[in-house]
A and B are shown apart, each in its own frame.
Chain A
Amino acid sequence: MSTIAIHTSATMHHHDDHSHGHHKETFLTKYVFSQDHKMIAKQFLITGIIMGVIAMTLSILFRIQLAYPDHNFPLLEVLLGKFAPDGRLDPNFYLSLVTIHGTIMVFFVLTAGLSGTFSNLLIPLQLGARDMASPFMNMLSYWLFFSASVIMLSTFFIESGPAGAGWTIYPPLSALPKAMPGSGLGMTLWLVSMVLFVASSLIGGINYVSTILNMRTKGMDLWKMPLTCWAFFLTAVLGILSFPVLVAGIVLLVFDRSFGTSFYLSDIYIGGQALANEGGSPILWEHLFWFLGHPEVYIVIMPAMGIASEVMSVNSRKPIFGYHAMVYSLIGITVLSFIVWGHHMFVTGMNPFLGGVFMITTLIIAVPSAVKTFNWLATLWRGNIRFTPAMLFAIGLVSFFISGGLTGIWLGNAALDINLHDTYFVVAHFHLVMGSAAIFGMLAGIYHWYPKMFGRLMNPKLGYLHFWLTFASAYLVFFPMHFMGLDGVPRRYYAFTEFESMQKWLSVNVFITWAAILGAVAQVAFLFNFFYSIFFGEKSTQNPWEANTLEWTTPVERIHGNWPGEIPTVYRWAYDYSKPGHDADFITQNTPLSETMSSNLPHDFAGNEEAERIQEQWNIEHKNIDSREEVK
C-alpha cells in the first residue's frame, strides 16, 4: 500500500514517521509532545479557548468597576484579596486588568489561538501534505506559546500585580520599574512572556509559509488553493515581516529597564528626583511598536476572513464571488498594512504633512476591505443558504466588519482623530472590527471544522443559542461606546463617571456591563457544547457539509499522515458548488474533469486544446452543446 505512493510529495520520509508512530506512540508523544499537526492544532485551540475565557473574565471584572464605581462587592475581596480591598478594585489592578485583557485577547487568543489552530489544522489537510515542513518546529512553537501563556498568567500571583501600562506598553511606564506597581516585576514577566510568544509566532509562521510554498500536492497550484490557505499564507508573511521589529523594540526597552540606557527616556522625575536618563524619545517606541502593531490587527483579522470566505461559500452552495479579487484584496491589505502605522500616532506631535500621508494610505485600505465585503455579500446573494452555526458566525463576521470598519474611516482622518483619539470611540471601533469580527471568524471555524478535529459534530441548537446571544450582546456592549467616545469619554480610566460632565454615562455603563455579563454567560453554551461533543457528540460522516476541499477526503478517524494511501491529486479549484450540468451541488477538488463531462466549461481546461477537443466530441455525442446557453 505504501510503496505505490512514493512519487507523491513527501511520502517517503513520512511513511517512516508513520510506522514509528504506530509502534511506540505513548500518551506523552500522542497528546503532549505531539508532532502531528492535527494534535498541535487542537492544543493551540484548547489553550486559546482557556486564555479567551480568562481574558473575558478579566473584562467582566473591570466592567463591574465601571458600572458600580461606588459599590463594594465583598465577593471580589474574597476572590482577589488585596487587589480588591474592601470589595472594590484597586486602581492599579484595574490598569493591570485592562492591560492583560488586551494582551491575551490580541496575542494569545486571536493570534496564536486563531492562526495556530487553523493554520496547523488546515494547511496540510487542504493542500494535500502529510504534515508540516518541520513537525518538530511546529511542536516547539506550541510549547513556546504554552510557556508564554503560563508566564503571562503567573503575574496574577505576584505581589505587585501584572503589567499595567496598557497592551501597547508605552514607555516611560513600561521602562521604569518604579513608575507604578504595574511597572515592576509584572512588566518584566510581560516582556519575557512576549519574547517567548514572538518566538513561537515566528517559528510557526515560518513553518506555515514553507509548507504552503513547498509541500502542496500534485495539481494544487497557488490559484487552486482555498481562500483559507491564502489567508493563512499572507498572515504568516505579515508575522514574519513585522514581529521582528517588535523584538527590536523590546530589546531596546529591556536595555532601558535593566541597564539604564536612554533609548526611550528623557527628562523624568520620580517623587521629585530627576532620573539620569536623558536624550531618549518615547516616540521611538511608538514607531517600533506600531510598525508591528498595525500589521498585527491584520494578522488577527485575515485568517478570520479566510475562514469566513470558505464557510460562506460552502453554506451558500455557490462559488465564492470574485475568487481572484478576494486574493488580490488580501495581498493589498498585506502590503498596505505596513505603511499605515502612523495613524496610531496622529497626536504625538507628528508633522501634519506626514499625518496626511498616513491618512491617505489608511483610507486606501478601505478599498480592499470593501472589495471583500461586497464579495461576501455577493456570495450570499441568491445562494441556497444553509444556516449552520458556522454560517451564522461567518455572517456575523461580515456584520461586525462593516459596522466596525465604517468607523475606521472616521478614525483614519487625522483631523477627526485628534478629537476621538483615546476615547471610547476607538474602543468601540476596534472591538467591533477586529475583536468581535475575528472572534466570530474563529468560532465559525470551530463549528465548521469541529468534525475534522474530533470526528463528531457540535450540537447545532446550542450553536444557535450561542450565536444569537453573543451577536446581540456584542452589539449591545460596543455600540453605545461610540456615543460615549463622541462625548469625549477617555478610555482606560478607573472611574471617569466621577467627572461631573461624564456622570450621565453611568447608566450607559451599567447597561453595557449587564450586556457584557449576558455575553459571557452565553459562552457557557459554547464551552459545554465544545467539551461535551468531544466525547458524546453525534458521530460525523466523512464530509458532513458536502464541501469541496481536500480535508474532507481524509478518513473520519484522524491518522498520522492524513491519507491512508496516496495523497489525492487536485484537478480543479475549491469552489465548484452548484455547477450547472452536474448532478450534485458540489464537486470535490480531487474529481478529474473527465468524470464531470456534463458540467465542464471551456475555461476549465486552461487552454489545453486536447482536452477541449475531447469535450467538444463528447458534447456532440451527448447533444450537450446548448447546455451552457440554457443556463444563462
Chain B
Amino acid sequence: MVLNKDIDRHNFQPKKFILWLFIVSSIIFFAGLTSGFIVYTGDAGKKLNVQLPHVFIYSTAVIILSSFTLHWSYLQSKKLKFTQQKVGLWLTFVLGILFIVLQVYGWAVWTNLGVFFINSNASISFVYAFTFLHIIHIIAGLGVLIAALVSSYGKLPNVTNSFRMEIASIFWHFVDILWIYLYLFLLLSQ
C-alpha cells in the first residue's frame, strides 16, 4: 500500500509540477503583454477610449460558472461517481465553447461600431490581442478537458483518470482566473 502510493507520487508529482511551471510561464506571458499595454498608453498618450463590449460581462459569468461545474465534476470523481463526473465535464466543455462564442461576438460588436483590430490607437488592438491569445489558452484547456473526458469513458486505471481530472481542474481554473485578471485590467484602464 505504502509502496503503491510512493510509486504514484513519483509518477505524477513531477508531471503535475510541469503544469505549474507552464502556468508560471503563461502568467509571465500575459504580464508581459499587459505591461506592454501600460508602457504603450503611458508613452504614446493614447488611452483605451472605447467602452468594452457589454457581452464580456456575460462571458465572464459563463467562465466562472464553468469553473464551478468543473469543480463539482472533480468532487464527483473523488467520490467515484463517474456518471456525474462525465456530466460535469460535458457541462464545462459546453460552457467553454459558449465562452469562445461570446468573445467572438464581442469582437463582432466592436467591428460593427467601427472599432477595428487594425487601429491607429494600438490600445484597442491590444484588447483584440488579449482576448485572442486568451482564447488560444481556452482552446488548450478544452483539449485538456477532452483528455479528462476520454479517461472518464475509457478503461484506463482510476489513478490516470483522477490525475487527468486534477490537471484539467488546475489548468481550467487558471484560464478562468486569467480572464478575470484581463477583464479587470481592461476595465481599470478604460
Contact = CB atoms under 8 A, between A and B. Distances in A.
B129 A262 contact: no
Given A12-B10, A240-B24, A248 B17 contact: no
Interface of B: 3, 6-7, 10-11, 13-15, 17-18, 21-22, 24-26, 28-33, 35-36, 39-40, 43-44, 46, 117-122, 125-126, 129, 133
Contacts of A209: 17, 21
Contacts of B35: 287
B46 A287 contact: no
A251 interface: yes
A208 to B, nearest CB: 10
B122 A280 contact: yes
Interface string A5-40: 011011011000000000000000000000000000
A13 B44 contact: no
Given A6-B3, A287-B39, A278 B120 contact: yes
Contact of A279 (B28, B29, B33, B122): B122
A493 interface: no
What interface size band does chain A fall in? Answer: 35 or more
A252 B24 contact: no
B27 to A, nearest CB: 8
Given A13-B10, A252-B129, A266-B44, 14 more contacts: A13-B7, A206-B25, A210-B14, A210-B17, A210-B21, A214-B14, A240-B25, A244-B28, A248-B29, A249-B32, A251-B129, A261-B117, A263-B122, A288-B36
A281 B40 contact: yes
A9 B10 CA distance: 7
Given A13-B11, A248-B32, A255-B129, A281 B21 contact: no
B7 A279 contact: no
Contact of B13 (A137, A214, A263, A280): A214
Given A7-B6, A244-B29, A244-B32, A263 B40 contact: yes
Interface string A522-534: 0000000000000
A214 B21 CA distance: 13
Contacts of A6: 3, 7
A245 B29 contact: yes
Contacts of A241: 24-25, 28
A288 B32 contact: yes
Given A214-B17, A215-B14, A262 B122 contact: yes
Task: Specify which of A133, A210, A291 lies most central, judged by the most chain B CB atoms within 10 Å of its CB.
Answer: A210
B26 A244 contact: yes
Contacts, number: 122
Contact of B18 (A137, A251, A260, A280): A137
A309 B3 CA distance: 39
A499 interface: no
A12 B9 CA distance: 11
Interface of A: 6-7, 9-10, 12-13, 133-134, 137, 202, 205-207, 209-211, 213-215, 240-245, 247-249, 251-252, 255, 259-263, 266, 277-281, 283-284, 287-288, 291
A278 B31 CA distance: 25
Contacts of A280: 40, 44, 122
Contacts of A137: 18
Given A210-B17, A245-B29, A278-B120, A251 B133 contact: yes
A24 to B, nearest CB: 22
* Interface pairs A-B: 10 shortest CB-CB: A133-B14, A245-B32, A244-B29, A248-B32, A278-B120, A214-B14, A206-B21, A244-B28, A210-B17, A261-B125
Contacts of A9: 10
A133 B32 contact: no
14 contacts: A12-B11, A134-B14, A134-B15, A206-B18, A241-B25, A248-B32, A248-B33, A248-B36, A251-B133, A252-B36, A252-B129, A263-B40, A277-B120, A291-B32
A6 B2 CA distance: 11
